[in-house]
Amino acid sequence: MYLYSLYNSFAMKKFITFILLLTLGIAGYSKTLQVYISYAAFNTPNNKPYLETYMSVIGNSVAFAKTDNNTFQGAVEVTLTFSKLGELVYADKYRLNGPEVTDTSLVLKNFLDQQRIPLKNGTYTMAIEIADANNPSQNYSVSEEVTIDFPADKMSFSDIEMIDSYSKTVQPSILSKSGYDLVPLVPFGEYFYPNEMKSITFYSEIYNSTSILGDSGKFLVNYYLEVANSEKKIDQFSILKKYSTSPVGIVFAKFNIEELPSGDYNLVIEARDRNDKVIAKKKTYFFRSNPDYTTNITIDDIAVKNSFVDKYNNVEELKEYINSLWPISDDSEREIAEAEVEKADLGSMKAYFLRFWKGQNAFEPEKEWNKYKENVDIVNKKYGNNIRKGYLTDRGRVYLQYGKPTLVEARRNEPNAYPYEIWQFDFAQNKRTQIPQNNIIFIFVNQELSTNTYRLIHSDAIGEVINERWRIVLQKRTQTNENLDNNGSDTDNFGNRFNSNSIID
């Protein structure tokens, strides 16, 4: 849904995520390219830092081309640069090929990429451009400020690398660290652990312990989970271990999270000296969805008390508010919201609702919700009916995702045509994907005259339904047109204005 994670202000997360919504017109079929990227900073014993980037390309989201082996293969072109104070310090351009497959209709594995970039301490602008190699006209770029900070006079941790899977190293590769091949968990918008994931595995490194504490020094490492908003440590998820100083210390561990309830958490790693003083610390945020498990972690623990959501004490009212978030929620948020509404636990729903709006605006979540609620009230009044709420209609969903249209042409009584509306936006930013676009249109038709339900049949916005024969759909009230080469652009009936209005010339 967002370029940045929902809770990076709470957890100091070190990753960016974006979904490349590239409309690929292939034999009338539309695909959406999905690419996810994260990164983590590490150091070496001789103080030569580097950044690792991790990329996951969703296997079924790419366009495929036929190979010489009579198979099909997808690929993306990647351009990665780092600059400091406007000066380019690193650049690389490469092609990432997916596996060759014989049937593109199957559920295909994602293909992964990992890079290591040597960077000195400092702040850099990382820029990434990715394009589908089999549809080069479609591309997307994003930039992010990255800071490398490993002080020579202090102990420090690397970033925390969340691990998807691991195995002992047989042949060293770029995935190898400390005798293991580590496959990174690349976050889909944020680190998200659904209830089917029973454990959380992570890796981090400790630097400068010998220079700070001596060759035979001892220290403690405590890694634990805390409630993100309150930073309250959860004792049942806390492990303390003794460490001896070394050129690089390794924290490679796993928590069983089967009994961790749904909520926002930080994974925290601390190093403490003999006096129990914290001398190094690192944390990262994740969200756990575990609707089948509850515990005595209270509403206070997740910072609902005294927040704006604490006033919502009617279960049905809060269900309605959560349901109204559907148009601007990503797939994982929708899954969690459905589980929360079905469970109908007031405290848990409050926690989810607060988390969602802090993700929209960490500083003024209530203001952001009130602005959105005003628009929900508008679409419920204008587009709702006895069958469904306005936010569940196509017009309501588009209004909530893109905002108020610049122009609306409403045609209710054109001869031989269903009632229809054309919406035009000079500029709009999809609140679900955060992708900005200029001069986009949406065309809605009312084929259910008794319910006043307008259905979206065509748009040129990224990721929306495309139907170049939308004019034919409008005319199907009185006629059919089986000629697939005819899009209706030159067959206006008397009195129709499909091609003559203030939006479409």
Between CA 497 and CA 169 the distance in angstroms is 68
pLDDT at 232: 84
DSSP string, 303-355: T-TTSGGGG---HHHHHHHHHTTGGG--HHHHHHHHHHHHHT-HHHHHHHHHH
pLDDT tens readout for residues 289-321? 988 776 555 444 545 766 899 899 999 999 999
List Cβ neighbours of 464 (8 Å cut-off, separation of 6 or more).
442, 456
Q: Are 252 and 181 in contact (CB under 8 A)?
A: no
- Sign of the dihedral through C-alpha 483, 497, 468, 416: negative
3-class secondary-structure state, position 298 = coil
**Alpha-carbon gap, residue 126 to 113, rounded angstroms:** 17
Residue the block writes with tokens 């999809």: 430
Mean pLDDT over residues 333-349, rounded? 90
Q: Which of 137, 25, 126 is nearest to 77 (CA)?
A: 137
Handedness of CA 74, 190, 462, 449 (dihedral sign): positive
- pLDDT band for position 481 (cuts 50, 70, 90): low
369 backbone φψ class: left, alpha, beta (φ>0; ψ -120 to 50):
alpha
Which pLDDT belongs to residue 181? 95
What is the mean predicted confidence (pLDDT) over 117-123? 97
Tokens encoding 269 = 């790693």
Could you give the CA distance from residue 449 to residue 467 in angstroms, rounded to a whole number?
A: 22
Task: Decide if 321 contacts 224 (C-beta within 8 A).
Answer: no
β-pairing verdict for 192-193 and 278-288: parallel
Q: Which residues of 366-402 are buried (b: 16+ CB within 10 A; e: fewer)?
A: eebbeebeebbebbbeebbeeeebbbbbbbbbbbbbb
pLDDT tens across 55-84, in order?
Answer: 999 888 888 999 999 999 999 999 999 999
Residue 28 has pLDDT above 60, yes or no: no
How does strand 199-207 pair with strand 278-288? unpaired
Average pLDDT value for residue range 453-463: 92
Q: What is the mean pLDDT of the chain?
A: 84
Give the number of other CB atoms < 10 A from CB of residue 346: 15
Question: 205 pairs with which residues across the strands?
Answer: 250
* Region of poorest pLDDT, from 3-17, 344-358, 384-398, 467-481: 3-17
Give the least confident one: 254-268, 331-345, 355-369.
355-369
pLDDT greater than 70 at residue 238: yes
Residue 109, pLDDT score = 82
Task: List phi, psi (to 5°) of 366.
Answer: -65, -40
pLDDT of residue 11: 31
Q: How confident is the model at residue 9 (pLDDT cuts 50, 70, 90)?
A: very low
The identity of residue 365, as a single letter, is P
Contact between 281 and 290 (Cβ < 8 Å): no
CB atoms within 10 A of CB 210: 18
Question: Do residues 134 and 22 touch, judged by C-beta distance below 8 A?
Answer: no
pLDDT recorded at residue 252: 96
According to DSSP, the β-strands at 180-184 and 161-168 are antiparallel
Confidence label for 16 from pLDDT (cuts 50, 70 and 90): very low
Average pLDDT estimate for 243-264? 92
Helix (H, G, I), strand (E, B) or coil at 402: helix
Q: Taking 70 as the threshold, does the pLDDT of residue 429 lie above it? A: yes
Give DSSP secondary structure letters for 86-143.
TEEEEEEEEEEE---BS-TTS-PPPEEEEEEEE--SEEEEEEEEEEETTSTT-EEEEE
Check residue 276 and give its pLDDT.
84
Identify which of 25-34, 75-84, 135-144 has the greatest average pLDDT. 75-84
Look at residue 498 in the predicted model and tell me its pLDDT: 55
Q: Which of 60-64, 120-124, 238-242 has the highest mean pLDDT?
A: 120-124
Confidence of residue 157 (pLDDT cuts 50, 70, 90): very high
